[in-house]
Amino acid sequence: MKLRISGDKLTIASAHMLTRHDKCARLHGHNYQVEVEIEGELDESNMIIDFSIFKSKVGEILVKLDHKILLPQKSEDLNIEMDEKQVIITTCDGRRYRFPKADVELLPLESTTVELLSKYIHDLIKEEYPQFKITIEIAETPTCKVIYSGN
Ligand SMILES: [Zn+2]
């Protein structure tokens, strides 16, 4: 049986840039609408999971990305320098940004495409709930959505 959560509390606003992309190399943002589906057996309470607890747990994962500038730590196209208060980025095409450290979320990714963000968020949820098959859908725009299913 499957259970799906969605809604305003699973919508996050984040900024990012995609190096080597014509338009998306410039810093810009999205309202990412996240939906999460889990598939599993019913427990002794005849539920797959208590969905309010599940929704809270997913919200805890997403809030770390909300109203943040998402930077891919493993990108070979970004030089990332940090001191106590700020993060300084130089891109492969010479753009230079300076952000307050508190505004930035460094992610262990090569890029912050919605595809890699989907897998990243999926894997964090899967760590909490290894017993379920988890599918994540993230709409980056009203007409473009990525769907990722793990095992
Ligand atoms: Zn974008």
Which pLDDT score, from 0 to 100, does residue 8 have? Answer: 87
Question: What residue segments make up the domains of the chain, in order of their start?
Answer: 2-68+107-149
Task: Count CB neighbours of 150 within 10 A.
Answer: 14
113 CA to middle of ligand 1, Å?
7
55 CA to middle of ligand 1, Å?
25
Torsion of CA 99, 104, 108, 111, to 10 degrees: -70
Which pLDDT score, from 0 to 100, does residue 150 have? Answer: 80
Contact 72, 18 (CB under 8 A): no
24 CA to middle of ligand 1, Å?
6
Which pLDDT score, from 0 to 100, does residue 6 have? Answer: 94
33 CA to middle of ligand 1, Å?
13
Is the CATH number of domain 2-68+107-149 3.30.479.10? Answer: yes
Which pLDDT score, from 0 to 100, does residue 151 have? Answer: 64
**pLDDT tens digits for the chain (151 residues)?**
999 999 988 999 999 999 989 899 999 999 999 999 999 999 999 999 999 999 999 999 999 999 999 999 999 999 999 999 999 999 999 999 999 999 999 999 999 999 999 999 999 999 999 999 999 999 999 999 999 998 6
132 CA to middle of ligand 1, Å?
30
